[in-house]
């Protein structure tokens, strides 16, 4: 981490639900407050890199099959991704004189504890909060954009994703689905 006698570089880990503004906050702190912004999702954006593929798939599994259902997840599923992120942060600490802001969805206590254990002094957490209706509306807009990129209607996407068992497509059913699927357990 830090050289002997030098305090550990400050790391602020910004966390929140998807769509709340983690990246925007990191960009702001980088632009106006002198932080170096590191996107904790960067590993996920490299599925073509063999050493990133499995940790990413496993982290997605941790969210979908465990954490979104408010169930504990075995460490061997989520830890490889988090360890890669810790290694990146440690390298940044060695090369940066400025504080670092990391944006990443760290919902679960066991993951935060793991980060504290491996990153030690100088690590702080900042959790952004947002009204659930605002988060759901943002998800609804992303759903609409995704349907548009596929060249289909939102109703067709709803059926394609086999969500029609949750009722006809409308905002209320989308909201119920989104809360139960993505916000429960968080």
Give residue 176's pLDDT: 87
- Report the distance separating Cα 80 and Cα 77, nearest Å: 7
- Residue 27, token pair as written in the block: 């960009």
Q: Give Cα separations from 37 to 11, 33, 95, 105 (angstroms).
A: 10, 11, 13, 15
- DSSP, collapsed to helix, strand or coil, labels residue 152 as coil
Strands 100-103 and 11-15: parallel
H or E stretch at 142: helix 132-150
> Under a CB-based contact definition with an 8 Å cutoff, are residues 56 and 45 in contact?
no
Contacts of 155 (CB under 8 A, 6+ apart): 169
- Residue 75, token pair as written in the block: 């460490």
| Exposed e or buried b per residue across 28-57, where buried means at least 16 C-beta atoms within 10 angstroms of its C-beta | ebbeeeebbbbbbeebbeeeeeeebeebbe
- Residue 105, token pair as written in the block: 């969805």
Give residue 7's pLDDT: 64
Tens-digit pLDDT string for the chain (186 aa): 445 555 678 999 999 887 788 999 999 999 999 999 999 999 988 988 999 999 999 998 998 889 888 889 999 999 999 999 999 999 999 998 899 999 998 778 899 999 999 999 899 999 998 888 888 888 899 889 988 988 999 999 888 888 777 888 889 998 888 887 777 655
Give residue 91's pLDDT: 95
Give residue 1's pLDDT: 41
Give residue 3's pLDDT: 53
- Report the distance separating Cα 91 and Cα 96, nearest Å: 9
């Amino acid at each position: 981490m830090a050289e002997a006698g030098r305090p550990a570089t400050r790391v602020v880990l910004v966390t929140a639900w998807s769509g709340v503004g983690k990246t925007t906050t990191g960009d702001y702190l980088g632009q106006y407050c002198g932080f170096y912004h590191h996107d904790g999702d960067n590993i996920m954006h490299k599925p073509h890199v063999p050493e990133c593929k499995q940790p990413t798939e496993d982290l997605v599994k941790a969210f979908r099959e465990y954490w979104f259902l408010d169930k504990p997840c075995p460490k061997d599923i989520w830890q490889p991704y988090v360890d890669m992120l810790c290694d990146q942060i440690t390298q940044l600490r060695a090369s940066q004189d400025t504080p670092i802001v990391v944006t990443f969805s760290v919902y679960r206590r066991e993951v935060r504890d793991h980060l504290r254990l491996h990153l030690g002094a100088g690590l702080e957490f900042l959790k952004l909060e947002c009204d659930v209706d605002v988060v759901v509306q943002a998800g609804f807009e992303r759903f609409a954009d995704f349907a548009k990129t596929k060249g289909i209607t939102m109703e067709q996407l709803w059926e394609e994703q086999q969500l029609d068992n949750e009722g006809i497509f409308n905002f209320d059913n989308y909201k119920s689905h989104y809360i139960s699927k993505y916000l429960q357990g968080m």
